[in-house]
Amino acid sequence: MMQFLFRLRPFALLILRFGIGIIFFTHGWAKVMNLNATMGMFAQNMGLPGWLGVIAGLLELVGGVLLIVGLFTRICGLLFTIEMCIAIAAVHWQKAPWWEVPNYNLPLAMLVGSFALAVLGPGVASLDFAFFRNRI
């Protein structure tokens, strides 16, 4: 049974990359397509600098695509891990205590998935493997 599951690892990493990537991409797209609203949301609702919303949107948009195709996967995973840590600590925990997980379950899931990709890498079904086979 374990051997069978181990053989599914490339597919599992592909699905993980695609799922995490598409979620980040769609959130980034929404931020970038509505820059004024994004900057206002970050400044007024979150108490963060408005320009940080633009940076987050671009990171999510471009990083999401990179995860989907499996290029610079570990770097994107690490950047998304940091972004989600900041989002949880600076935004979600300000509205509810840490033990009320339903208030931040999506950012937490994205943090965990991003960290897993940073640690495990992209797998063989990726551009990283095609271009940097000996380095990933």
Give residue-wise pLDDT tens across range 95-122: 888 888 888 899 999 999 999 999 999 9
Give the chain's domain count.
1
Of the candidates 85, 134, 114, the one whose C-alpha atom is nearest the C-alpha of residue 17 is 114
Q: What is the pLDDT of residues 62-76, one digit of tens each?
A: 999 999 999 999 999
Task: Answer yes or no: is 82 within a domain.
Answer: yes
The pLDDT score that the predictor gives to residue 45 is: 85
- Report residue 81 as tokens: 């891990």
1 within domain boundaries: no
**Residue 32 domain flag:** yes
Residue 76 covered by a domain: yes
Give 15's pLDDT tier (boundaries 50, 70, 90).
Answer: very high
DSSP 56-112: HHHHHHHHHHHHHHTSSHHHHHHHHHHHHHHHIIIIIHHHS-TT-GGGSHHHHHHHH
Assess if residue 134 is contained within a domain.
Answer: no
The mean pLDDT value for 50-64 works out to 97
Q: Is residue 17 assigned to a domain?
A: yes
Which residue range(s) make up the domain with 87?
9-126
Residue with tokens 């490339």: 10
